[in-house]
């Protein structure tokens, strides 16, 4: 994902726009969601020569695929990620200006892969969901709660199970009581 900036000639004020489609690099995403490796990424770029280097401004249009963090249903949508970064000509000037990660023009080329990766990954949701009101999965049996909103399990705290047996409220005790009543009625 390198682009030549030789035609800008280190002449502040010179500019060039580029529209290109590239293949998505590996690991352009996070655990649950991201762009598939090799999928198309459409770029609209503007390269501007400034005194310190080349200012790259652009938009990336990426097809995102993943799964919902609550119900594991597939998610697909198109993401538009904006970015702008200065690629320095001189490493000394770069280290003087800021302490953050700096990008450099190397042999009249700029490498946009780290810039694209930062823009896309930071725009992805931390916990992707198929819908904001997605109920997710039942933690007991795994059924989708959206399909059965009244779904529930009777959960008896195991610490109280012995006391429940004394009162005759456990399922086994209830079945035994029912059977003994039926025998007495017969």
Q: Is residue 103 part of a domain?
A: yes
Q: Is residue 115 part of a domain?
A: yes
Structural domain of 114: 2-123
Q: Is residue 93 part of a domain?
A: yes
Q: Is residue 30 part of a domain?
A: yes
Domain count, the chain: 1
> For the segment 114-139, what is each residue's pLDDT rounded down to a tens digit?
999 999 999 999 899 999 998 888 88
The per-residue pLDDT for 81 is: 95
> Which of 122, 147, 124, 152 is closest to 134 using CA atoms?
147
Q: Is residue 117 part of a domain?
A: yes
Q: What percent of the chain has pLDDT over 90?
A: 42
Q: Is residue 178 part of a domain?
A: no
For residue 82, count CB atoms less than 10 angstroms from its CB and return exposed for 0-12, middle for 13-18, buried for 19 or more.
Answer: exposed
Asked if pLDDT for residue 182 goes beyond 70, the answer is no
> For the segment 17-52, what is each residue's pLDDT rounded down to a tens digit?
999 999 999 888 988 899 999 999 999 999 999 988
The per-residue pLDDT for 35 is: 93
Q: Is residue 181 part of a domain?
A: no
The per-residue pLDDT for 174 is: 47
- Asked whether the beta carbons of 5 and 105 are under 8 A apart, the reply is yes
Q: Is residue 108 part of a domain?
A: yes
> For the segment 64-90, what is each residue's pLDDT rounded down to a tens digit?
999 999 999 999 999 999 999 999 987
pTM of the model as a whole:
0.70
């Amino acid at each position: 994902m390198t682009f030549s900036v030789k035609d800008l000639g280190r002449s502040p004020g010179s500019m060039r726009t580029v529209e290109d489609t590239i293949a998505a690099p590996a690991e352009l995403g996070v655990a649950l969601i991201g762009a598939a490796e090799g999928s198309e990424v459409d770029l609209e770029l503007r390269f501007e020569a400034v005194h310190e280097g080349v200012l790259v401004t652009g938009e990336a249009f990426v097809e995102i695929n993943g799964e919902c963090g609550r119900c594991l249903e597939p998610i697909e949508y198109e993401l538009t990620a904006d970015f702008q970064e200065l690629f320095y000509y001189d490493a000394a000037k770069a280290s003087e200006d800021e302490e953050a990660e700096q990008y450099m023009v190397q042999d009249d080329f700029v490498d946009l892969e780290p810039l694209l990766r930062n823009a896309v990954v930071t725009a992805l949701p931390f916990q992707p969901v198929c819908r904001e009101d997605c109920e997710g999965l039942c933690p007991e049996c795994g059924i989708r709660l959206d399909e059965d909103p009244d779904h529930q399990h009777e959960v008896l705290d195991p610490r109280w199970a012995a006391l429940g047996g004394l009162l005759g409220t456990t399922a086994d005790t209830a079945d035994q009581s029912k059977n003994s009543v039926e025998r007495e009625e017969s």
